[in-house]
Chains A and B, each alone.
Chain A
Amino acid sequence: MSLLRRPLLVLILVVTSQFLQLWIAFGSVNEEGQRQEEFYEELLLKPLPDRKVLTHFHFQSSAPLTSNGRHHHLFPKAISQLVQKFRVKEMELSFTQGRWNYESWGGFDSIPSSNAKPPGVELWAVFDVPQYLIDSLWKNLTHTLSGLFCASINFLESSTAYSAPEWSFPPASGNLRYGTLPREAVCTENLTPWLKLLPCRDKAGISMLLDRPSIYRGFYHSQRLHLTSTESGSEGMDPGIVLEQTLTVVLQPNSQRASLARASEKHIQPSWSLSSIFGKQVSGKCVLAETSNVYLLLDRGLVAELKQLHKENGKSAEKVLTSENFWTNPCFELSAKPDRIFIEESSLLSKNSSVLYKFEVEKYSEFEPFDLGLTWKIPVVWLCQQAPLHASRFLMGSGNERGAIAISLKSTQSSEGFMGANSDHERCELRVDVFQVVPWYVKVYFHSLQVFVDQQPKAVSDIIEKIHVSPSKDKVSPGVMELVLKLPCSVSSAALTIEFDKGFLRIDEYPPDANQGFDIPSAIVSFPNYHASMVFLGNDSLNKSPLLSKFKCLLCILDHCLMHYEGVLLRRRDFLKTKPPRKLVGYFCCCQSCQRSLEVRVKVRIEMYADQVEGAGKRSVKERLNGNSFHNSIPRRQTTGKRQRQDEKWEHDLYHDDVPHVSYRTTDARDLRLKLQRKSLQQVSQSGRGALSGVRDLREKLSGTMNPWPVNADPPKLKSDLTKPTRRSVTVETSEPEPKKAATTEAKKKAQQKADASVEGFLQSLGLEKYAITFQVEEVDMTALVHMTDDDLKALGIPMGPRKKIILALE
């Protein structure tokens, strides 16, 4: 045997060493042949015409896609696992609050086109799997993301919440799923996990600026996560995962100056600095980042306006632009010297070009923090570049039966200049893509689609070049409408209307606050023929910046460059009032609690607790359960006041200091039950014998809820067991005359307390302190406990295990 064993061992050794060698070889290949994990951090600042500032944080981390790589240096592990597990090819998740103001913040830049998102949560993902697997992957992905970002993204799991657009999203048709949650509130809870994905978190580098209060004070706030994974087979790209995290915030700088300044200075744009808008400064770069830059962008309109002002001042505009000290010009002043200035390659589309200042954070340190400030010297008024059409959406019709959705497109005058570039000699056409998802309870009649151009009804086939519709199925899937419109360039307004019926929901399908209405997800209006690209003159060093390469890259994605989210959400007020009167619901609940539905019973209990705490104003428990009231005869306010006082005292007595706080927590439910019992006792004593039967009834009902732990084991049996003793105790106690009871309460309680303490101590030693209350209710002291048999304990409602333990300990 031993002879045999030895060669085997040798063989195993040989084989494993071979494998190890292979592994090492692979590892070295990986390290040499492929690029390392990289992380870039950048911040773009841009003054907006309406006295606000756009701040756009851009973090990008990328990792090579290693087959054996479970370990990452910089790249968040959670994301790489997610990509590998769900085979995500591309994914975008955004949390947004507020609406992007297309009119004053511009709609033609790369920033609004990729970062202006609909309010709430938007998620789309492309999967690299066969069709039939996608839905299940999507469901798992939503659950993972909701765990990762502390948001209710898991609601996108249900098939009524997501859709599969055919060609509105260019990356991959068919393999894409798209879902939105327009109602989702966004808060720091979502931002913290997002920041955790950054290698430096918010402890160093540009992300230090992310001061929560100032971010959430902003007018618009959109936090986005874009994920692209490329397989090794794809063209020209290194295989790997690229994670792009952006945070776009529109803030209004505090303009203290405006208040004390002269009237003429009110028109001056407010001056701002990083420390004034964020309350923080940047003290050096994140050491893990490849580059760490801050950019200040003056858009075309602003630059043109500045040139105009210079001309008025008698200087040559060209000179000012080219001169290096453009940053200290008579119009405004920067508090830091830019490291580089880029001027946009003047494109064919427009004469004007925007200017970009670059600041390298690297140079700054903790002792000399970076704080970029912009001080305006003279009032400047300019306009941001607008998208060719301004879209808005309306809900038409009144009433709860039917209505119509109207999407209206209005031409923005400023865009006429760009139109010319696109026009052909024979016929100039403007292509507009519209994508709209409606929830199933908005039952759209697609045959009622009407198109109006310049307020004239047009034949649908003339304007709509392509249409894809997937009608909604009740309670199964939402309706999706994708349109490609061809509008004449001279169009000044266009409108689409489509009629719908409002569906009727079952009572359990209502959202918790149905009177706020339902939100219809935003429509997406995009202009595929317009390229919102910016190419800056400069050397190759620019290419290294992912943020600026994004500006360029929009050229290559022709189809998707300008996306126009309409912010308008339709709130469907008082959508359906099939809600029955409360009585009816109560009736149903009652039926249930009479049967053996545990959840409902628990609910009843909770309600009662709330009642007791709140006191007088609400309906009594009895009323809720039975409908008839025995409460009416009692002066209610007085009763509750008394009860509360007594409860406090009782609580104080019961939980004297040597009882640990934890046990107080665990006996919470029981404590409630005792309170209830006391309450009912008092009521009985005040309302007299007549109501006794009613109390019994109530107690019988309550007895079902008394014992939350054993209920799981065998509810119906326990219930019947429990009712008997409790009832007995009621009758005994109530038979006592009232004044005598009041007089003796104090003494009795004290005595009881002593005995109970020992029982409690005894139970605690067994680890059964949660049953202490049960014994206390039955006034079982240590002497009584010694004489108790198995059956007695059973009658108390103690489950089998503890019962045996107690009996064993007593012996």
Chain B
Amino acid sequence: MEKLKKKLGSFSFWNWVIASIIFRLILIYFPKNLNLSSRPEVSTPLTSFRRLAEGYWLKQSSMSPYAGSMYHGSPLLLSLLGPLTLKRIEGQPNHLLYSLVSVIADVVSAMLIRSTGQSLQLAYFRSLESLDLVKQIEGSEVHSSGDVAALVYLCNPFTIVACVGLSTSPIENMAVILCLYGACSRLIPLAAFGWVIATHLSLYPAILIIPVIFLLGCGPDSPPRKLFLQRQQQKGVLNQAKLPPGFSWGPIIHFAFWALVWSVYVLVLCGISLKQFGGLWEMFKSTYGFILTVEDLSPNIGVLWYFFAEVFEFFRNFFLIVFHVNILFIILPLAIRLHHRPCYLAFVYVAICSMLKSYPSVGDSALYLGLLGWFVNELSDMQFSLFLFCGYVGVSLLSPVMHNLWIWRGTGNANFYFATAMVYACLQIVLVVEGVSAMLNHDRKLRSLITGKPQDSKS
């Protein structure tokens, strides 16, 4: 019976995957890609397809791709994806090859998410077994979190829009997921590669090094180590073998070595492709520099553009520092509190980054929503989930309307659109806060199960 259920489940999983791919292809065949590629939600100055094409054109006409302030991406993307911006097949949509690459990237990311989720779930069950809590947990329904996460990622409208809108965020997301997958399945070179590429492409994934270190050092998510000790104290036996392994430095040094190798490799490649156009310094200035000094003030779903359009010039640097340090301030407390759940920590970091990023797009939201699927069992008690869901739907419907009113019809103004951006930021904050507290509650629930105390629902 159970086997049949599982079969059915996997069968419907593949159905959903195929359906989502077909849906993408249908959208690609719409004329002009439904103009998605010029939507501000999809194409930020960093991920815009048109800017990529412009950068490639400049490079082809033997100018620096960073001449002018159009292109701000990596030179490697230019070499890999640039030719696809020009290739046209008769009778087919203009950028078919490029869209196919995005679709493939999405599918690969989904598969990686799935296998990561499965290994996470496996590890989690193992740790529950060692705590003898399997029976209590089994009472509630258990989902295959890998499948859920992969389907959430694939069928999320945000992912689909980012993929069909020809932005580069599917590639960036794939690099992040590759990094987490490598760390979970202990493929250290792969993890290092993913981390280096993700950092190279969009800078913010650099902070994922903390969860990756935890993942490599003490293994995937598990209940706090204290619980195991308590459990064994209850039993009266102290069995070191049954305890989860402590922090080990070996894999981390291994990771550092590989990260170094990959980053040197990437820098050399970039240096070669930019040799006659000002070299690496030019690249850093117009990629990372562009991200850090919010130069482009075109509207996006973030909040920084509005703020920096208003702020006085002499305060600008101060607020730039404030906003960027914000991210750094959050890193440490979360790392301490959630160190036993590195994958969850990674999810929280990705969510916070996509909120405080200088040029956020829906592709970033797609990533953290996908990762959220991994913790579907743990977060089953999360509050406000319906509210959040409705909020996301509402914002994603209202935001284009407000944008249209402001930019195209001229009947609204910037505040209309900015209001939806603020609501969106608030939703993300609520999601992160609620998510973290739900996870902590889950840990508390486990502890109360072990100590046998009557469990109070909220503490």
Contacts and interface: CB of A to CB of B under 8 A. Distances in A.
Interface in B47-66: 50, 53-54, 56-58, 61, 63
Interface in B397-426: 406-408, 410, 413-415
Contact of B68 (A402, A472, A504, A588): A472
A173 to B, nearest CB: 17
B308 A401 contact: no
A507 B413 contact: no
Given A506-B297, A580-B414, A398 B69 contact: no
A447 B408 contact: no
B16 to A, nearest CB: 35
B38 interface: yes
Interface stretch (B180-188, B235-243, B264-272, B309-317): B309-317
Interface in A519-542: none
Given A447-B56, A474-B295, A503-B298, A401 B407 contact: yes
B67 A471 contact: yes
Nearest to B57: A447
A507 B309 contact: yes
A473 interface: yes
A479 interface: yes
A733 to B, nearest CB: 39
B407 A474 contact: no
Given A506-B309, A577-B414, A472 B38 contact: no
Nearest to B85: A447
A504 B309 contact: yes
Nearest to B298: A504
A501 interface: yes
Nearest to A503: B298
Interface string A479-510: 10000000000000000000001011111100
A632 interface: no
Interface string A576-595: 01111100100010000000
B443 interface: no
Given A401-B408, A506-B308, A507-B310, A473 B53 contact: no
A20 interface: no
A470 B298 contact: no
Given A400-B410, A445-B50, A447-B56, A471 B415 contact: no
Interface string B305-325: 110111011000000000000
Interface in A76-96: none
A471 B70 contact: yes
Nearest to B410: A574
A504 B305 contact: yes
B435 interface: no
A142 B313 CA distance: 26
B128 to A, nearest CB: 52
A578 B67 contact: no
B296 interface: yes
B299 interface: yes
A712 to B, nearest CB: 20
Contacts of A574: 410
- Please indicate which of the listed interface residues B63, B297, B306, B313 has the most CB atoms of chain A within 10 Å of its own CB: B297
B283 to A, nearest CB: 16
A398 B408 contact: yes
B54 A577 contact: no
A783 B107 CA distance: 95
A443 B70 contact: yes
A790 B310 CA distance: 47
A577 B305 contact: no
Contact of A501 (B297, B298, B306, B413): B298
A43 B61 CA distance: 49
B69 A473 contact: yes
A47 to B, nearest CB: 46
B271 to A, nearest CB: 23
A578 B306 contact: yes
Nearest to A447: B57
A473 B53 CA distance: 17
Given A474-B69, A588-B312, A446 B58 contact: yes
Interface in A607-645: none
A198 B309 CA distance: 49
B90 to A, nearest CB: 14
A445 B70 contact: yes
A227 to B, nearest CB: 33
B167 to A, nearest CB: 15
A483 to B, nearest CB: 13
B67 A445 contact: no
A694 to B, nearest CB: 28
B53 A447 contact: yes
A580 B310 contact: yes
Contacts of B408: 398-401
A301 to B, nearest CB: 44
Interface in A685-712: none
Contacts of A580: 310, 414-415
Contacts of A129: none
B57 to A, nearest CB: 4
B66 to A, nearest CB: 9
Contacts of B67: 470-471, 473
Nearest to A576: B414
A469 interface: yes
Nearest to B58: A471
Contacts of A577: 406, 410, 413-414
Nearest to A475: B295
Contact of A479 (B50, B68, B305): B68
Nearest to A399: B408
B413 to A, nearest CB: 5
Nearest to B86: A447
A446 B54 CA distance: 7
A650 to B, nearest CB: 39
Interface string B150-183: 0000000000000000000000000000000000
A481 to B, nearest CB: 11
Contacts of B58: 446, 469, 471
A577 to B, nearest CB: 5
A804 B245 CA distance: 83
B406 A471 contact: no
A34 to B, nearest CB: 48
Contacts of A446: 54, 57-58
Contacts of A504: 296-299, 305, 309
Contacts of A401: 38, 40, 407-408
Contacts of B310: 507, 580, 584, 588
A439 to B, nearest CB: 13
Nearest to A477: B68
A578 B54 contact: no
Contacts of B53: 445, 447
Given A399-B407, A400-B407, A443-B70, 19 more contacts: A398-B408, A399-B408, A401-B40, A445-B53, A469-B61, A471-B58, A471-B67, A471-B68, A473-B67, A503-B297, A503-B298, A504-B296, A504-B297, A508-B312, A577-B413, A577-B414, A578-B306, A579-B414, A588-B312
12 contacts: A399-B407, A400-B407, A400-B408, A401-B40, A401-B407, A443-B70, A448-B50, A474-B69, A501-B298, A504-B297, A508-B313, A574-B410
Interface of B: 38, 40, 50, 53-54, 56-58, 61, 63, 67-70, 85, 295-299, 305-306, 308-310, 312-313, 406-408, 410, 413-415
A-B interface, 4 closest residue pairs, ranked by CB to CB distance from nearest: A471-B68, A447-B57, A399-B408, A504-B297
